[in-house]
């Protein structure tokens, strides 16, 4: 004769197992019960006023204004714009970076820089075309059109968005070719300066201000280092 060892118990109804819809979960108040799935993009949130102590709710994200510090680890971006692709700020553990990917960075009120050092590092190259260049940085390395041995530069356009009012330096791109910056040639924007100036040495420089609201480039200083080297 066979014997069956063990215990038997009668299964009672457990409403916590009565899940009916994809995403339903088990919950409990004073009995097991079903927690129905919420709507798309909702999150499960603790709420003591609810019978089950929780509910599905729309995420409120960060509150505004913030009432405590928001801390970013090194190399974590605070990104802005649709999809975060327009600009960002970050710290890499050594330096702080502010980058405008789309458009330009603009300060719409007074800006004070209380630092030991304040530098701009960018420089760009431009080749003369029809006696003209278009400025894109504060330091422009200028080359002659068609690699000619000498070429006149009558105009420099620093009139793009965010460029008007810039101070800019012109230097020779190639010391073997001479760029002659021309004083008060016809057209606009002219160079208003103390006579023509030749960039015929790698260390020659001339500096202008494209004064905001005015239509020309105004000379601030020049340094004829070719003459200095020849004299020494």
DSSP string for residues in 45-98: EE-TTSTTSEEEEE---S-SS-SS-----TT--EEESGGG-SEEEEE-SS-EEE
| pLDDT beyond 50 at 16 | no
Pair (90, 142) in one structural domain: no
Residue 32 has pLDDT above 60, yes or no: yes
- Please, what is the average pLDDT of the chain? 84
Quick check: 116 pLDDT over 70? Answer: no
What is the rounded CA–CA span in Å between residue 154 and residue 149?
17
Query: What is the rounded average pLDDT of the residues 105-129?
Result: 78
Instruction: Note whether residue 158 is domain-resident.
Output: yes
Is the residue at 42 inside a domain?
A: yes
Q: Sorting pLDDT into bands at 50, 70 and 90, what band is 125?
A: very high
- Note whether 112 and 97 are within 8 A (CB): no
- pLDDT tens digits for range 194-203: 999 999 998 8
Please tell me the predicted confidence (pLDDT) of residue 152: 97
Q: What is the pTM of this model?
A: 0.56
34 and 96: one domain? no
* 182 and 90 in a common domain: no
Q: pLDDT: is 139 or 166 the higher one?
A: 139
Quick check: 208 pLDDT over 90? yes
The tally of domains found in the chain comes to 3
Domain of 85? 71-102
Lookup result for tokens 């300066």: 193
CA 159 to chain CA centroid, nearest Å = 22
pLDDT of residue 217: 92
User: How does residue 107 score in pLDDT terms, banded at 50, 70 and 90?
Assistant: confident
What is the distance between the alpha carbons of residues 218 and 16, in angstroms, rounded to a whole number? 82
Is 6's pLDDT higher than 60?
A: no
């Amino acid at each position: 004769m066979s014997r069956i060892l063990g215990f038997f118990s009668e299964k009672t109804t457990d409403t916590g197992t009565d899940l009916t819809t994809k995403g339903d979960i088990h919950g409990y108040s004073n009995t097991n019960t079903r927690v129905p799935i919420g709507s798309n993009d909702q999150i499960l949130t603790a709420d003591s006023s609810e019978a089950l102590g929780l509910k599905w709710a729309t995420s409120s994200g960060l509150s505004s204004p913030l009432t405590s510090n928001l801390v970013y680890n090194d190399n974590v971006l605070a990104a802005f714009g649709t999809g975060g692709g327009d600009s960002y700020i970050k710290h890499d553990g050594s330096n702080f970076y502010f980058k405008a990917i789309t458009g330009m960075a603009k300060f719409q009120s007074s800006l004070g820089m209380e630092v030991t050092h304040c530098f701009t590092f960018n420089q760009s190259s431009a080749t003369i075309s029809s006696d003209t260049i278009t400025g894109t940085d504060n330091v422009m390395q200028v080359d002659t059109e068609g690699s000619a041995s000498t070429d006149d530069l009558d105009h420099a356009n620093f009139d793009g968005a965010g460029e008007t009012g810039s101070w800019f330096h012109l230097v020779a791109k190639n010391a073997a070719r001479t760029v002659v910056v021309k004083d008060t040639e016809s057209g606009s924007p002219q160079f208003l300066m103390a006579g023509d100036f030749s960039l015929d040495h790698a260390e020659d420089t001339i500096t202008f201000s494209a004064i905001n609201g005015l239509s020309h480039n105004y000379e601030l200083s020049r340094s004829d280092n070719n003459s200095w080297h020849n004299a020494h």
